Structure 1
């Protein structure tokens, strides 16, 4: 079938980009094809955690799939879920738990695939801290996004009560010693704190059993009208992630830095290395790599049950998953 031949082509392109630098972007096979515009709404500023999408954009993988992709701007507190639901963006990216909550509230959104196998969420503590496990956070001063589902999960699962300080997106209080711990992405804050002379350790939330992947989603209306284009977008994006993790990321990092000048080369290289070493995107275990990108009914149901148990959800059924399209998958092909 034509779609599978395109997957193989995209996978091979992503696997060999570091050798050929994509100097010759021959698109003869797509000449005359209708180019479909797709807008991608991120949930945060441009950064290495979005590297696969920027790789696909920088190296022409979307072009080869007959797509004209635009990555939209974002900002804290931007209602990105609502933008996708209203059709103001074609596709969005977010955590699966946040999307589940939006679906329960009635937003007509559908998961079309996942691009990260693990959540990079963590709790950062000073290297010399007496906090060595999540249970040790009981009674501690922790800066976190108080409404984040994982906060409720940790307190319920470990039977603890943290002294929560609302997150202000800064690290000054943590560095000055006013806090015992602070939420982080393992791919970000530990680097910046170290640059300020402070060594840290990180408790990874996924190790506590709460591990919602980052997913791609769209509106029901968009899915019904443009499923073939969305399939091509997903395939090209996953090929982009393969390329970003395995090939030369230079052009990707240049593009990210243009979109977000706060991103410097040293940080982006470090962040990418953590994504690779921790298996955030493609999984920590070899068997996960075999289903990379494919959403399973089991993982969605398990997450819904966790959220129901801690009161983050009240009505969403773990058995009725019509808000997940399980048709989206891709074949990883080596060059």
Structure 2
């Protein structure tokens, strides 16, 4: 997440409709035959464009670099080439991608892996298709001179944390944080900036940029250093939708990796598109995020196996952690919550 934005306009890509220009016959039979073939070809193109299947992708936040591969696939026409007419809907603090997809208001959604598992625990049969960020950029941010050397050093300090966020429960189970003054995280950083001893949840891909811009020196510690590292920006559908629309899912996934591959080398170009969708996020901020998230997207298992790769081991470890925290009622089989079948090689 990050600093709040106003909801931007929805981006929608439509298949381009060819206009037919009927040319009057003014010559011999050869010219008439050629003209007829041209019209037939244009009619076929029009019919093909009109047959694009409309599907909706709802983002887990307002448009930003963490969705760069999807915007690249959109702007470069990869979805259209695979027969899909994509509507991208922005997320935000009042938007639950999990509920929208579960209710059928969107076919595809984005969420973090732990959110998907907890939604499943509430009866939502959701299936992960790809993990856009191999590792979690979630972190605690603190002033550089705060003297914080480990998670235990959070004791005696104010910590701005979102209520109910799973990694906070995990940290409390691993460390004695009984002396932390937990305050509600709101997405605003005025109090944090004015309290040199305080700590705030953050993403290393965004908040440090804002602090640098404000002249505040900060350091961060990744939550993953404590052993909690769920996949982030996970693409998902409902199990029913997957079983009933395998071809559509395959079409979507055929555009997924090419989109992220294009974004890696052309992120500044695609960031222009993201900025158009969310004018409240500056190009400089998008550039910082794109570069800061590179290893989260393209490193780890993705370096060898491609963007989006997921493993049974990682899902199983997360399931065990959430079960031990009593955030899951049962230790579900990892194969029930994810699939790599549609990740194009």
Q: Select 1:305's aligned residue among 320, 329, 339.
A: 320
* TM-score (normalised: structure 1): 0.83
Q: For residues 169-218 of structure 1, give each alpha carbon's deviation from its aligned partner in whole angstroms, at most 9, with x where no partner exists.
A: 10101111175110001111111111111011000112221111121111
Please say if residues 117 and 281 of structure 1, whose CA atoms lie closer than 8 Å, have aligned partners that are also in contact: yes
- Alignment gaps of 5+ in structure 2: 1-43
Please say if residues 56 and 88 of structure 2, whose CA atoms lie closer than 8 Å, have aligned partners that are also in contact: yes
Counterpart secondary structure, 1:201: strand
Aligned positions of 1:148-297 closer than 5 A: 148-161=165-178, 162-177=180-195, 180-214=198-232, 215-246=234-265, 248-276=266-294, 279-283=295-299, 285=300, 288-292=302-306, 293-297=308-312
C-alpha displacement of 1:321: 3.5
Please say if residues 115 and 238 of structure 1, whose CA atoms lie closer than 8 Å, have aligned partners that are also in contact: no
CA RMSD of aligned residues (A): 2.1
Once structures 1 and 2 are overlaid, which stretch shifts more, 251-260 or 302-311? Answer: 251-260
Please say if residues 59 and 88 of structure 2, whose CA atoms lie closer than 8 Å, have aligned partners that are also in contact: yes
C-alpha displacement of 1:254: 1.7
Counterpart secondary structure, 1:132: coil
Please say if residues 100 and 106 of structure 2, whose CA atoms lie closer than 8 Å, have aligned partners that are also in contact: yes
Q: Please name the residue that 1:24 is paired with.
A: none
The count of residues paired between Structure 1 and Structure 2 equals 298
Q: Partners of 2:125 and 2:329 in 1: how far apart?
A: 18
Q: Partners of 2:161 and 2:273 in 1: how far apart?
A: 30
Q: For residues 248-293 of structure 1, give each alpha carbon's deviation from its aligned partner in whole angstroms, at most 9, with x where no partner exists.
A: 22332122112211111111111111012xx11122x4x5422232
Please say if residues 190 and 200 of structure 1, whose CA atoms lie closer than 8 Å, have aligned partners that are also in contact: yes
Counterpart secondary structure, 1:330: coil
Q: For residues 49-101 of structure 1, give each alpha carbon's deviation from its aligned partner in whole angstroms, at most 9, with x where no partner exists.
A: 11111111111111122211111122203122111011110100000000100
Residue 75 of structure 2 is aligned to residue 58 of structure 1:
yes
C-alpha displacement of 1:320: 5.7
Please say if residues 41 and 72 of structure 1, whose CA atoms lie closer than 8 Å, have aligned partners that are also in contact: yes
Counterpart secondary structure, 1:290: helix
Higher relative contact order (CA 8 A, sep 6+): 1
Q: Partners of 1:231 and 1:31 in 2: how far apart?
A: 22
* TM-score (normalised: structure 2): 0.81
Pair 58,303 (structure 1): closer, same or farther in 2 beyond 3 Å: same
Residue 155 of structure 2 is aligned to residue 138 of structure 1:
yes
Pair 250,137 (structure 1): closer, same or farther in 2 beyond 3 Å: same
Please say if residues 109 and 235 of structure 2, whose CA atoms lie closer than 8 Å, have aligned partners that are also in contact: yes
Counterpart secondary structure, 1:118: coil
- Alignment gaps of 5+ in structure 1: 1-27
Q: Which has the larger radius of gyration?
A: 2
Q: Partners of 2:254 and 2:191 in 1: how far apart?
A: 42
Counterpart secondary structure, 2:87: strand
Please say if residues 116 and 281 of structure 1, whose CA atoms lie closer than 8 Å, have aligned partners that are also in contact: yes
Once structures 1 and 2 are overlaid, which stretch shifts more, 248-257 or 184-193? Answer: 248-257
Please say if residues 302 and 309 of structure 2, whose CA atoms lie closer than 8 Å, have aligned partners that are also in contact: no
Once structures 1 and 2 are overlaid, which stretch shifts more, 94-103 or 73-82? Answer: 73-82
Please say if residues 143 and 196 of structure 2, whose CA atoms lie closer than 8 Å, have aligned partners that are also in contact: no
